[in-house]
């Protein structure tokens, strides 16, 4: 099982897409283990996107991510990082395949609705950045044996 970070960006919140997007993850079988709405402070946005600090879009990205509320979600499941990345679709909405979140809801190349961790290692760093110790809830769902084949004793 992996836990990954998803951020529904200000455009997703302002467009009223939170429920539709969350449903995609839950319908897939991923479990929400943490969730909070917040305004991202500038210093947190700078830390989160520091890998892009030398790129021309960096300042615009920071302004966008701090422009309104976001929904920060911790999702858990087998290969959660990869599963979420596939559900999200290509970075640019105009290039994302239909059936993906960005492909179905996005057209803009800069307002792309959603952020997701790009690796299990990054997910751990990002989860620590947005959630305090004890914020994530470990629980069992009654549907788990119907989401994963558990006949071998572990989910597959």
SS3 for 85?
Answer: helix
Q: Is 115 a catalytic residue?
A: yes
- Identify the H or E element spanning 36: strand 31-38
Chain position carrying tokens 């969350």: 22
H or E element at residue 48: helix 42-48
Q: Are strands 31-38 and 70-77 parallel, antiparallel or unpaired?
A: antiparallel
Q: Strand order in 2-8's β-sheet?
A: 31-38, 70-77, 2-8, 114-116
Catalytic one of 48, 52, 115, 133: 115
* Residue whose tokens read 């992996």: 2
How distant, in Å, are the alpha carbons of 80, 111, 112, 121 from that of 86? 10, 18, 14, 18
Question: Which active-site residues does the annotation give?
Answer: 115
């Amino acid at each position: 099982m992996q836990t990954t970070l998803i951020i529904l960006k200000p455009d997703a919140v302002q467009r009223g897409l939170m429920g539709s997007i969350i449903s995609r993850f839950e319908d897939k079988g991923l479990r929400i283990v943490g969730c909070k709405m917040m305004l991202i402070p500038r210093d947190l946005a700078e830390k989160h996107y520091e890998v892009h600090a030398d790129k021309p879009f960096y300042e615009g990205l920071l302004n966008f991510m701090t422009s309104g509320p976001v929904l920060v979600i911790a999702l858990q499941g087998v290969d959660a990082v990869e599963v979420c990345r596939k559900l999200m679709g290509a970075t640019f909405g105009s290039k994302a395949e239909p059936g993906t979140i960005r492909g179905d809801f996005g057209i803009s190349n800069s307002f792309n609705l959603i952020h997701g961790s790009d690796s299990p290692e990054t997910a751990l760093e990002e989860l620590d950045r947005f959630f305090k110790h004890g914020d994530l809830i470990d629980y069992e769902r009654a549907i788990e044996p119907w989401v994963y084949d558990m006949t071998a004793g572990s989910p597959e």
